[in-house]
Amino acid sequence: MKITISNSPSELGSEAARLTALKLNEAIEKKGEARIVLATGSSQFETLTQLLKEKIDWSKVVIFHLDEYIGLPVSHKASFRKYLYDRFINHINCRKFFSIDTEGDIDRLIKMLTKEIISVPIDAGMIGIGENGHIAFNDPPADFATKESYIVVNLDERCRMQQVGEGWFTKLDEVPAQAVSMSVWQIMQCKTIISAVPHLVKSEAVRNTLLNGLTDMVPATMLKQHSDLNLFLDRNSASGFMSF
């Protein structure tokens, strides 16, 4: 595990984007194509903004995303597909974007996504950490055992309140109770994991991730088992385990 602590979210975003671009360009040079998983949420704003500035041949990049609410249309401001289309996908010409379209048959959707994501290894996974320590929507206690690539998950109250706190919903009752999420196992199959985790609100989750052993009650502790984990923090998110 490599930890980089930046002075600000924008600096963190630049550092995380630079490494992401390096990994994608290496894959393109070696294989003619790169594959990446993109994270969403308020914590990813700066990293995705900086990634758009990097020199990458996006026509050779296949993109997956991590999770999407069940029962929420793509037109809703909290939809993660809308988030990615508005902030990223519509600004590039990627080879393919595999969105999690939860309006239809969920079983069929999961089968399609599974077929695509296991067909070729993922070169880079941009994986955030939630306030409750989740990765994707794998809330505690996370399922560490499943080898399914995408699963239907129940969202716990703290996870749902995080979405309210970030302004995606006005109250808890508006937040869907279920989502389709990439599994912890599938996340760990990424060759490189780039985890951008800025802001003071994430300091507890960062501390719990770094100071606990492997536990499904802090799902992000699984990331420490990865051979190429790159954790990007700012001074605020790092303040739970070190002083400045």
Q: Is residue 52 part of a domain?
A: yes
Number of domains in the chain: 1
What digits encode the pLDDT tens for the residues 127-178?
Answer: 999 999 999 999 999 999 999 999 999 999 988 998 999 899 999 999 999 9
Could you give the strand order of the β-sheet that contains 96-98, starting from the edge strand earlier in sequence?
Answer: 2-6, 229-234, 192-197, 124-126, 34-38, 61-65, 96-98
For residue 110, what is the domain's CATH number?
Answer: 3.40.50.1360
Q: Is residue 244 part of a domain?
A: no
Q: How confident is the model at residue 244 (pLDDT cuts 50, 70, 90)?
A: low
Q: What are 77's two structure tokens? A: 């401001």
Q: Is residue 242 part of a domain?
A: no
Q: Is residue 221 part of a domain?
A: yes
Q: The domain containing residue 151 runs over which residues?
A: 2-234
Q: Is residue 212 part of a domain?
A: yes
> Residue 243 has what pLDDT?
73
Asked if the model's pLDDT at residue 241 lies above 90, the reply is no
Q: Is residue 239 part of a domain?
A: no
> Residue 15 has what pLDDT?
98
